[in-house]
Amino acid sequence: MEKILVVDDERSMRDVLSIMLKRAGYDVTLASDGSEAIVQVGKEIFDLVITDLKMPKVGGLEVLKSVKEISPDTVVLLITAFASSDSAVEAMKLGAYDYLSKPFQVDEVQLIVRNALERRRLSTENTLLKREIASQSSLANIIGQSEPMQKVLEVVLKVADSKSNVLIFGESGTGKELIARAIHYNSIRSRLPFVTVNCSALPEPLLESELFGHMRGAFTGAIANKAGLFEVADGGSIFLDEIGDTSPAMQVKLLRVIQEREFRRVGGTRDVKVDVRVIAATNRNLAKAVADGSFREDLYYRLDVIPITLPPLRLRPNDIPLLAKHFLDQFAKANGKPAPTLSADAMRVLLVHEWKGNVRELENLIERVVAFSTTPLIEERDIEGWLHRPATSAPSHASAQGYPTDLPPDGLDLEKLINSIEKDLLLKALERSRWVKKKAARLLQLNTRSFRYRLEKYEIKGGTDDSDNE
């Protein structure tokens, strides 16, 4: 519901405008003079201020100046019985939306109010569209014909129109934000805002201000009222990326807005109600974080209504050729050159690489290759130099097997070394067996139960389960 502040020193005029606007469905606040209006603007964010021009002490132009200073996005409409071209020009220069002369028709005011609020909505939407124009997402933008990705897309289609919160799990680079966008843009909220927040990118005080907004003077640098991203996302969806990295104090505030659908701005005294669908994502094991006390259990269950787990790229090798072609076409077009093709040997290199950075790593690789390519065919040598492989270190890879064969002068942490060796061999066995656990266990001469125990010990996830009951 849009909020309107009516400012007039005549009670009859305030009452007429209040009744008219409330009947039209607006939330109306009244102020009897300019000073009171400026105080109200400091306490609340209004969508529209309708103010009389001529008032004792503090007039409409002073109110207009203060509104534009305190809350720049608020639209201001001036009304007066003493219209003049000079005052109209000055008001428009100061940022007034329009200028009405008394007496006026009720229909005329209603039309101007609707147009003023529509202008504010369009301004807000335009700001969001600029952020989204390069990354509007639909299911067609998600590349993947493998069984794991098809299962993910099925879930997206099923839950898109649900009001329930979604929690997306996946390693870094698997495309969690892309899935979040697909959920929003395939839902009934698609015409309303989709707002993204990286919870790990901002320190807690700044994150709180970004999410919930602040009032002027709430802290050093808060020179104007600012709506938070939950407020901006009202009616649409908000994507909280890396939510597992939030502090306990922030988790409490998030729990409240998710549970009660209301929050309070930093420095504010009033609760703000919103209708926002929350889509969160994390690369952490939140169940484990709940168990060790670093993540609130009640928040976890509020978020984890619809869980979606994205497979790492190593578990969807059939999608690598599709993704590679997609990125080749995309970056060739951006560079104004014909799209090159990958040789069979170059593709083989991509298929056997471990892709710890997942789709993002593949995307970055193809971008570099396209930027440096001068021929229509990309060979193995063009790929090899750009692949990210774990760096070797002398102490741990001194021998041909890659492990120390002598005791360093200062000694070593034997248990840590043994665990490192064991984990390394588990991963190598999984990679060689294309992440089929039964085959990997055989390579290490372990039974299935023992192999799975070790995977759990080192929190190694993924792979194809088998029904072997050894």
pLDDT per position as a tens digit, 142-163: 888 899 999 999 999 999 999 9
Q: For 204-231, how does the pLDDT look when each residue is reduced to its tens digit (9 = 90+)?
A: 889 999 999 999 988 888 889 999 999 9
Q: Decide: pTM greater than 0.85.
A: no
State yes or no: pLDDT of 364 exceeds 70: yes
- Domains detected in the chain: 3-130 (3.40.50.2300), 139-309 (3.40.50.300), 313-384 (1.10.8.60), 414-457 (1.10.10)
Dihedral sign, Cα of residue 328, residue 329, residue 330, residue 334: positive
User: For tokens 């807690």, what's the residue?
Assistant: 204
Q: How far apart are CA 250 and CA 360, in angstroms?
A: 29
All residues at 6 or more sequence positions from 350 whose CB lies less than 8 Å from its CB, including other chains: 320, 321, 324, 342, 362, 383
> Lowest-confidence range among 56-70, 279-293, 414-428?
414-428
Q: How far apart are CA 326 and CA 449, in angstroms?
A: 40
Q: What is the pLDDT of residue 389?
A: 58
Q: What is the pLDDT of residue 393?
A: 39
In percent, how much of the chain has pLDDT > 90?
58
Compute the average pLDDT of residues 229-257.
95
User: HEC states along the chain?
Assistant: CCEEEEECCCHHHHHHHHHHHHHCCCEEEEECCHHHHHHHHHHCCCCEEEEECCCCCCCHHHHHHHHHHHCCCCEEEEEECCCCHHHHHHHHHCCCCEEEECCCCHHHHHHHHHHHHHHHHHHHHHHHHHHHCCCCCCHHHCCCCCHHHHHHHHHHHHHCCCCCCEEEECCCCCCHHHHHHHHHHCCCCCCCCEEEEECCCCCHHHHHHHHHEECCCCCCCCCCCEECHHHHCCCCEEEEECHHHCCHHHHHHHHHHHHHCEEECECCCCEEECCCEEEEEECCCHHHHHHCCCCCHHHHHHHCCEEEECCCHHHCHHHHHHHHHHHHHHHHHHCCCCCCEECHHHHHHHHHCCCCCHHHHHHHHHHHHHHHCCCCEECHHHHHCCCCCCCCCCCCCCCCCCCCCCCCCCCCCHHHHHHHHHHHHHHHHHHHCCCEHHHHHHHCCCCHHHHHHHHHHCCCCCCECCCCCC
